[in-house]
Structure 1
Amino acid sequence: MCDPGDFEALLPHLADLVVDTVERTSDVIHVVARARASEGLCPRCGTASSRVHGGYERSLDDAPVGGSAVVIRLRIRRFLCRDPECEAVTFAEQIPGLTSPHARFSPVRLDAMRAIARALAGRAGARLARMLGMPVNRMTLLRLLRNLPEPLLASAPAVLGVDDFALRRGHISGTVLLDMDTRQPVDLLPGRTADAFATWLQQHPGAQVICRDRAGSYADGARTGAPDALQIADRFHLWHNLGKVVDKTVRAHRSCLRAAPQPDQDEQETPPVPASQPEFRDVNGRERRLVLRTVERHAEVHGLLAEGESLNAISRRLGLAFRTVRRFARAETAGELLAGAVHRPSKLDDYKPYLTRRWNDGCHNAAQLHTELQAHGWHGAARTVQRYVNTLREHTIVEPAPASPPKPRRLTTWIMTHPDHLDPNDAVRLKAAIEECPELHARWMSVTPSPWCGASRPRRCSPWWRPSRKIRARGSPN
């Protein structure tokens, strides 16, 4: 048992109640209370009445105290309305600031649950509320979230951000509008069309800067709804598009990247140098059909282009899709098209130096080599080792190849990283890899002094880093 007076001091929102008893169980605090006022006001006519007709007990969930849930058991009186013309014969009393008709939660509890629902919504919010001593169903939180009043927005923020989001990925999309100064969403639009965005801008004037992605629909909507606003591309999409261009360029020149020196290579007992493997032949030594078909098609497409044929005519003549013909036409050499097919990484790459050394020592048994690899941590199949060993059958002594070049994704990451944040060993490997490809080296040197974000702006004559139409925001007035 607790002292009711102390409990009222602890919970000031119960000042209009007379607390009779306070009982605490294992995890719930029960407060038995009644109204302090001697009369009530009729909700229909507003007439005060002290004539009690009857009463009942009502339960109200309150905010937790010390991690324990609080349940207020109110003894509610029902009064007789003294106005004979009032339609309400009787009415139940309400405690100002605490109860409302049919409410199951106190205002303090409701505010806490609304804050949780706004931050975490359904299941996550229900788990947090349960830990805080406010057990609630996830659907209750969602209903509270849906019933929140929408803020009245008379004008658009000065710097407006717009982007699309997926309600159902690939099927249903919407548009989210944000205030870029406060980083808070201001409205949601159905779909991602130019008309919906233009209509919203006309209804909410005041946008001076519109920050968007490269979507043409948003550019058209901004020109129609806010013609005087400055359109800019957001930093994420610019950097993301630049990364895609760099990654595509690196992958196109993957075949000409040679060895990049490994850091502290002299201190390693066994340098990780994989053995050379024919790239354009299968495990039986025959030329791969994919390589032959790609080389032949590339020659046919460029031969017809030299004769003056259009891409559509070449597509009909060769029976290929238009996009396929365009991809072959844009590739200067067949090697650019084969870079992803003949340079795929393998789980065996780290073990090829050991296989090369054992092959040169005279061990040509694939089963024995597979057993030895298992002692070194190999968990792959014996067939994988056998396929690789078959490519070495024609040679008694295999000359070790230089260290394998970094993966395209890793090389792209190094290029896109600021020099001050790049590991020194990675910087050495990046420089060595770039110097192995003359074209990449020429494009790299054309950027002064570096292509990273935050450094000096690249020269516009650079064929790699020039902001092409793929990177610039379409529809931008500048």
Structure 2
Amino acid sequence: MKTVSVLSAKDQIEKVIKLLIPVPEKLEIHELLITSEELTLVLASLQSLASCPVCGQETRRLHSTYMRTLQDLPWGSLRLQLHVQVHRFFCQNPDCKRKIFTERLPELVEPFARRTNRLRDALLTIAWALGGEAGAKQCAAHAMPICASNLLSLLRRQGVSTAPTPRVLGVDDWSFRRLQAGTLLVDLEHHRPVDVLLGSDEEVFASWLREHPDVEVISRDRGASYQKGAMKGAPQAKQVLDRWHLGKNLREVLQKALARQMDALQQAGEEVKESKQDQPTAPAQLAQAGAKQRKSPRRKAPSPSPQRAWQLALYQRVHELAAEGKPQREIAASLQVQRQTVRKYLRMPQFVDRRHSPSPSQVEPYRAYLQQRWEQGEVMIKALWQEIQQQGFTGSYGSLRNFLHTWPLPQEMVASPSSPFVAPIAQRASTTRTPRQATRLLLCEPEELRETDIAYRQALFRLAPSLENLSTLGKEFLQMIKKRDDQMFFPWLKRAKASPCEEIRRFALGLENEADAALAALTEPWSTGPVEGHITRLKLLKRQMYGRANIDLLRLRVLHVA
């Protein structure tokens, strides 16, 4: 049983209590009950005059009193509960529907509420910052217990004020759930979010623009949904393409073009490797005297990816049906794929998986050395790891193990301890480039590249002359964006449409279809950079709310911070 101490209002502590309670001039302190976990403060209202909440007429005619129980801000680690005795009054207006009403204490608490205003504000501050689950844990740690659902209900009731329609609007999409996207709208002049929409199709964007007709400028990426939505919802607004997305789109175009030149990429790497074989080498020896004989590790070939195998079979079947003379529409219907997929595979002279461009391993620069040691019979991964560490390798043992675990064992393997070996420095550098790496070589100036990269690019231009024209067009386009030179735009379009590369021609035709928006990107200062920053913050808020991130709560938190 809890021990209760009772302090009367005649004690000196009354002065301290009056400093801590809200609106002390309207409340009288009767007593304070203290337990090990909670304080209970008994108060009484001093008001003798009240106004009817319906008709507003003042009255002094008292009906009765009753006790309201309220939760207030804690005192230290103790919860504080207020028992406030308030009055009921008669409304003396004969035409008023309300005959009896309870007096209001707006500075202390809202009508029918069970928490004081200052406790509600403190809970809302935590809820806006942390959300439901994390906010409830933080409130419990500060003697303000509340469940996550009630905390989120407070947010919903509080709501946010409607932002004024921006003059310059930035728009971009974000991922809400799997296969479901959303749209974030940002006022680019004031750098604050305006609205969060569920859906990224043109109708969602167009309907919002129809409700806000004062938008004058729209900054967007090259997505077709926002382009069509802006034309439908705000045909009077000026559209501006984002410069960063233009550069990104160009790099993607070059990467697709280089993916069709895999033979040239590999052959250029072989030529660079052969040209470096005659250069002087530096010895790198690692003596392991007395090392114990160990069994050879067991390895098996990696299982092929089912997705890649299906794509390869589909690619072959598309070419077989095309060789029989069937049109693309019939091929797409028989294979149950999109016509764009059929068209993409027919353009490929050989199958290329474009789903991703894997990053090269840290071990790749040491491939030539490892292959030579592997053929000599050294298959102990730890020994090889120690050897390449002597040559400057800074990666982990696990990265080397993952790199070598699919290599087949030599035919005549000799499980011998490691022996000193000389490794050529020239073979440390990776020779064959991925399409993504080669894209960087095409867009960089010669003074920004190493000698090996320059030799590789020259070999690539010699094997595939069309790539030199692609490199020139790409660098000119990036310089045009960097300098914001709108005079270069149409001459560049003309040269790009005459390029032998199909990908760059399609890119130029797409820009020509939205030439006004592309020119505005070179003359206007607006971009979707602030939108990307707010999307990053939106993702943080979404993950912070665990599985409770419904679109209404997410919208409230995003707009409240703004």
Query: TM-score under structure 1 normalisation?
Result: 0.67
8 Å contact 1:314–1:325 — kept in the other structure?
no
More relative contact order, 1 or 2 (CA 8 Å, 6+ apart): 2
2:236 matched residue in structure 1: 228
Whole-Å separation in 1 of the counterparts to 2:38 and 2:60: 35
Classify the secondary structure of the residue corresponding to 2:146.
coil
Aligned residue among 77, 92, 112 for 2:102: 92
Q: Which residue of 1 aligns with 2:83?
A: 74
- Give the equivalent residue in structure 2 for 1:274: none
Tell me the secondary structure at the aligned position of residue 182 of structure 1. coil
Equivalence map 1:186-201=2 (5 Å): 186-189=194-197, 191-201=199-209
- Give the match for residue 552 of structure 2: none
2:522 alignment counterpart: none
Deviation track 1:45-101 (CA, whole Å, cap 9, x = no partner) reads 544236362432512333x566x5652413223435263956656543332321222
Offset at residue 428 of structure 1 (A): 6.3
What amino acid maps onto 1:59 in structure 2? L
Question: Could you tell me whether the CA contact under 8 Å between 1:301 and 1:328 is conserved in 2?
Answer: no
Residues 98 and 268 from structure 1, CA distance in 2 versus in 1: closer, same or farther, beyond 3 angstroms? farther
Please state if 1:102 is matched with 2:150: no
The match for 1:51 is 62
1:184 matched residue in structure 2: 192
Tell me what 1:404 maps to.
430
Question: Does residue 210 of structure 1 match 2:212?
Answer: no
Aligned-CA RMSD value: 5.4
CA distance in 2, matches of 1:201, 1:382: 53
Query: Cα gap change, 1:59/1:341 in structure 2, threshold over 3 Å: closer, same or farther?
Result: closer
Q: Rate the CA distance shift 1:218–1:72 in 2: closer, same or farther, 3 A.
A: same
Would the aligned equivalents of 1:251 and 1:340 in 2 still touch at CA under 8 Å?
A: no
Q: Structure 1 residues 214 and 470 mapped into 2: Cα distance closer, same or farther (>3 Å)? A: farther
Q: Note the alpha carbon deviations across 1:345-402, whole angstroms, 9 max, x for none.
A: 6797577445434356x43xx7x54574587736749994661635999xxxxx9994
State the shift of 1:232 in Å: 1.6
Once the two structures are superposed, the pairs formed by residues 290-301 of structure 1 within 5 Å of their partners are none
* Matching of residue 162 in structure 1 with residue 188 in structure 2: no
Matches of 2:28 and 2:189 in 1, distance apart? 48
Separation (CA, whole Å) in 2 of partners of 1:121 and 1:78: 37
Distance in 2, matches of 1:17 and 1:337, equals 79
Mark the CA change 1:14 to 1:237 in structure 2 (over 3 Å): closer, same or farther. Answer: farther
Give how far 1:159 is off: 0.7
In the aligned structure 2, how far is the partner of 1:199 from the partner of 1:69? 52
Partner in structure 1 of residue 43 of structure 2: 33
Counterpart check, 1:437 vs 2:448: no
Cα contact 1:219–1:476 (8 A) shared by 2: no
Distance 1:341 1:221 in 2: 30
Amino acid of the structure 1 residue aligned with 2:116: S
2:135 to 125, 132, 141: 125
Cα 1:163–1:338 change in 2 (3 A) is closer
Structure 1 unmatched ranges of 5 or more: 272-281, 284-289, 394-398
For residue 356 of structure 1, what is the aligned residue in structure 2? Answer: 371
Q: Give the 3 Å change call, closer, same or farther, for CA 350–404 of structure 1 in structure 2.
A: closer
2-side partners of 1:300 and 1:81: how far apart?
90
SS at match of 2:410: helix
Distance 1:89 1:150 in 2: 35
Contact 2:108 2:116 (C-alpha < 8 Å) held by counterparts = yes
Matched, 1:83 2:83: no
317-326 or 232-241: bigger deviation: 317-326
Partners of 1:5 and 1:418 in 2: CA distance? 76
Q: Which amino acid aligns with 2:71?
A: L
Contact 1:160 1:180 in 2 (8 A): yes
SS at match of 2:239: strand
Distance 1:136 1:59 in 2: 14
Cα distance in structure 2, aligned partners of 1:474 and 1:25:
76
| 1:135 aligns to 2:117 (yes or no) | no
Distance, in Å, in 2 between the alignment partners of 1:316 and 1:206 is 45
Going from structure 1 to structure 2, the CA distance change for 1:435 and 1:120 (only over 3 Å counts) comes to: farther
Q: Does 1:312 align with 2:328?
A: yes
SS in structure 2 opposite 1:437? helix
- Measured after TM superposition, the shift of residue 158 of structure 1 is 0.6
1: CA distance, partners of 2:64 / 2:453? 88
Superposition TM-score, scaled by structure 2 size: 0.58
Does 2:173 match 1:146?
no
Letter in 1 for 2:408: R
Segment drifting more, 223-232 vs 89-98 = 89-98
CA deviation map 1:265-306 (0-9, x unaligned)? 9789379xxxxxxxxxx98xxxxxx9xx89x9699789969x
The verdict on how the C-alpha distance between 1:25 and 1:185 changes in structure 2, with shifts beyond 3 A counting, is: farther
1:445-460 alignment, distance < 5 Å: 445-447=472-474, 451=478, 455-456=482-483, 460=492
Change (3 A) 1:410 1:341: closer
C-alpha distance in structure 1 between counterparts of 2:359 and 2:413, whole Å? 19
Q: Is the 1:116–1:129 contact (alpha carbons within 8 Å) kept by the matching residues of 2?
A: yes
How far did 1:231 drift? 1.0
Structure 2 vs 1, CA of residues 69 and 313 (structure 1 numbering), >3 Å: closer, same or farther? same
Q: Distance in 1 between matches of 2:58 and 2:358?
A: 87
Q: Distance in 2 between matches of 1:418 and 1:386?
A: 35
Q: 1:429 to 1:185 in 2, by over 3 A?
A: farther
Give how far 1:140 is off.
Answer: 1.9
* CA contact 1:215–1:474 (8 Å) conserved in 2: no
Residue 389 of structure 1 aligns with which residue? 410
Letter in 2 for 1:326: R
TM superposition shift of 1:139:
1.4
Distance 1:121 1:42, change over 3 A: same
- Cα distance, 1:210 vs. partner? 1.3
Asked if structure 2 preserves the Cα contact closer than 8 Å seen for 1:32 and 1:74, the reply is yes
SS in structure 1 of the partner of residue 158 of structure 2: coil
Q: 1:216 to 1:84 in 2, by over 3 A?
A: closer
Q: Which deviates more from structure 2 when the two are superposed, residues 448-457 or residues 114-123? A: 448-457
Q: Which residue of 2 aligns with 1:468?
A: 507
> Residue 170 of structure 2 contacts residue 185 of structure 2 at CA under 8 Å; is this kept in 1?
yes
* TM-superposition CA deviations, 1:407-431 (whole Å, max 9, x none): 6487379669999xx9x8x866655
Q: Which moved more, 1:111-120 or 1:401-410?
A: 401-410
1:205 shift after superposition: 1.6
Q: Is the 8 A contact 1:165 1:175 kept in 2?
A: yes
User: How many residues get paired?
Assistant: 434
Q: Distance in 2 between matches of 1:99 and 1:342?
A: 60
Partners of 2:247 and 2:478 within 8 A in 1: no
* 1:169-198 CA-partner distances (Å, limit 9, x unpaired): 31x544443322233333345544444433
Q: Distance in 2 between matches of 1:173 and 1:386?
A: 42
**Any idea what SS the aligned residue of 2:235 has?**
coil
Report if the CA contact (8 A) 1:451-1:465 is conserved: no
